Copies of this chain bind each other. A is one copy, B any other.
Amino acid sequence: MESFLPPQVLLLGPGPSPVPEPVLAAMARPTLGHLDPRFVAMMDEIKELLRATFGTANALTLPISAPGSAGMEAAFVNLVEPGDTVIVGRNGVFGERMRENVVRIGATAVVVDAPWGEPIDPQQVEEALRGHPGAKAVAFVHAETSTGACSDAATICRLAREHGALAIVDAVTSLAGLPVEADAWGADAIYSGSQKCLSAPPGLAPISFSARAVEVLSARRTPVQSWFLDMSLVTRYWSQGQGGGRSYHHTAPVNLLYALHEALLLVHEEGLDAAWRRHAEAHRHLCDGLERLGLELAVDARWRLPQLNVVRIPDGVDDADLRRRLLLEHGIEIGAGLGALAGRVWRIGLMGHGARIENVERLLGALAELLDRRLV
């Protein structure tokens, strides 16, 4: 066996997204101890940068030392207890995963379904809240990575609050790709992944809990079922204790955190507004080009995500073969359909560093060649 030398691939799938050179370079810097005061100071900067990214002043804002799926699990296992009822919006794979999380806690999930490719209907969420007074939380995915649909986070969070329920928001694909305003929405737990519009390598899950969520956490009747994800323990490492020090919980993924720090600096150097605009522009360019290729987007323009574009596979085209040739002959990765959409759609991600006109051009050219179509 030999050292692994990965080829350079343009990552236009559902994540990971292209990681810029300065972020890769940051990750390769010398490993420090996870309690080194210089490292701890950088952790504080990460928390501050994450707050600015989530649009929140929440004290309890930090990256979980594991991928986005663990961020989702952290939100649920900390806020939901056995016997609780949670209203779960399900309009794709990740809404179903939320339901799975609720059930594995021993809580009851009340599912509000929407067709794949459409947003969660706030009116149905309100009906579910009315039908289940005392529901502990409403959970939904802001930007469904499996379908490319954007739900109305502000409205759903408001409804949750009006009915005394917590709002749990999956912002894995949305964060830094389109406006995320945790505090303005009134989100109580909101999480993301490092490898989407933040353009850091996969492996970290930024998460933020509101003051209201922290109260709920403190008032739990049962211990959090996961020791690793128990925020009351995690936070003793990520913030100063009463004695002024930090307590060891687990060994933080030091080098990945260097990368996240650098990626967040790049996001804020550009500015969130500018990043959102760049995503929107690359998206428009892609939509135009796909139309010129005679390809069809599967999601209505009213709730279409800029960073995750779901395209119908034309009749007679071999899904796997085309993606393989795109990857191996053209060095471009796009994503397959998930679940019910497998074999029927492609998922084209324009995330973070990848959301650039030149990448769109390169993809359109390659698709034209592989599909033997012209950009008319």
Contact = CB atoms under 8 A, between A and B. Distances in A.
Contacts of A250: 67-70
A258 to B, nearest CB: 6
Interface in A61-87: 65-70, 73
Contacts of A25: 28
A317 interface: no
A24 B28 contact: yes
A230 B2 CA distance: 31
A63 to B, nearest CB: 11
* A11, A224, A256: residue with the most chain B Cβ atoms closer than 10 Å: A256
A18 B33 CA distance: 9
A34 interface: yes
A122 interface: no
Contact of A251 (B34, B193, B262): B193
A49 B254 CA distance: 24
A361 to B, nearest CB: 20
A201 B254 contact: yes
A179 interface: no
A7 B38 contact: yes
A201 B253 contact: yes
A302 to B, nearest CB: 28
Contacts of A1: 45, 48-49, 265
How many copies the complex holds: the figure is: 2
Contact of A28 (B13, B28, B104): B28
A22 interface: yes
Using C-beta atoms within 8 Å of the partner chain, give the interface range for chain A: 35 or more
A340 to B, nearest CB: 14
A4 B101 contact: no
Interface in A29-48: 29-34, 36-39, 42, 45, 48
Nearest to A336: B35
Interface string A247-286: 0111111111011011001000000000000000000000
Interface string A99-137: 011011100000000000000000000000000000000
Nearest to A29: B6
Given A7-B38, A253-B256, A258-B6, A203 B65 contact: yes
A26 B38 contact: no
14 contacts: A1-B49, A1-B265, A3-B26, A4-B261, A4-B262, A24-B31, A32-B333, A65-B203, A67-B252, A67-B253, A201-B253, A202-B253, A203-B203, A248-B338
Interface of A: 1-9, 11, 13, 15-16, 18-19, 22, 24-34, 36-39, 42, 45, 48-49, 65-70, 73, 97, 100-101, 103-105, 193, 195, 201-203, 223-228, 248-256, 258-259, 261-262, 265, 327, 333, 338
